Structure 1
């Protein structure tokens, strides 16, 4: 495992979490055709230009130290990404950050999301322990029962009900996990 936040590659069982690459554009576009991914996204990816912008955003976020997005690769399903996990920090030295994820439709139901989210969480608490990170939050719309299950499997307990807030039209859940 490479723990440096800018170059991190994380192993989680058979999964590999690695930085997103420009060559992942087609996989990203295909994943965002899924209505479930679109519904949970704050930044829709509808075409090649939007996908290229999304990929640049991952690189820029990593360079700034405020966003660490990882392509989730399961060698049993091929060489390309089958999901995404991300850590978003509001500012350096912040005690809390937000995590998110998605899994491509063809890879769901295999335990990939909780395994990848758990690995990201462990990495984040190690990589940013010296910078004061002590809490991670996972947010999702209230009608997304699958995200509740992923959160619980990855050790994120239900913390509170959130009011609807753009871009999400429904109330939401906040799940939280604290540093060990």
Structure 2
């Protein structure tokens, strides 16, 4: 099943092998490495990472999207579903340095959230969770802008070595997230 989510400014679509060069360039960023647990060292590594994302679609456990702004890969958004089933999922995201501060991450999370909750065209989930390191205020702003409420401060847990924030959004909440 091919899924493409879009708005006026951005498109979310499955990662493709042709994205390896762009991914490797975006991943060569100290700030991105600071806040994410995955590493992409070079273009060969990017090819392997993209293959892993494609495998996640096959199992339905990790539905990963390249975030494109003006036709260029600008970031990543993912819906994680352990076991590929259930009513709860986890949203993850990152943006490359050229796209930071432009609101792309929150808009990507909004698009992915709407699709995840959609029972007809999407996944029909009822609850989404979003985790980030407490020391990352930009991710906190993304979560809040996308309608995710702070639910708890969590102790460190792999792969996160520091305390984290748990933000949640539930289908049907007002304002709609």
Please give the TM-score of this superposition, normalised by the length of structure 1.
0.89
CA apart distance, 1:66 = 1.4
Q: 1:106 aligns with which of 72, 85, 98?
A: 98
What corresponds to 1:3 in structure 2? none
What corresponds to 2:150 in structure 1? 158
CA apart distance, 1:45 = 1.0
1:51 aligns with 2:46: yes
Q: How many residues of Structure 1 are paired with residues of Structure 2 in the alignment?
A: 169
CA apart distance, 1:55 = 0.1
1:1-180 to 2 correspondence within 5 Å? 6-75=1-70, 79-126=71-118, 127-129=122-124, 133-180=125-172
Secondary structure of the residue aligned to 1:91 is helix
Structure 2 unaligned segments of length 5 or more: list them. 173-177
CA apart distance, 1:93 = 3.0
Please give the TM-score of this superposition, normalised by the length of structure 2.
0.91
CA apart distance, 1:49 = 3.0
Q: Any runs of at least 4 consecutive aligned residues in structure 1 with deviations exceeding 3 A, and if so which?
A: none
Write out per-residue CA displacement over residues 50-91 of structure 1, whole angstroms, 9 at most, x where no aligned residue: 21111001111111111111111111xxx3210111000012
Write out per-residue CA displacement over residues 14-60 of structure 1, whole angstroms, 9 at most, x where no aligned residue: 21111111111111111111112112222211123321111001111
Q: Are 2:59 and 2:84, in contact at CA under 8 Å, matched by a contact in 1? A: no
Structure 1 unaligned segments of length 5 or more: list them. 1-5
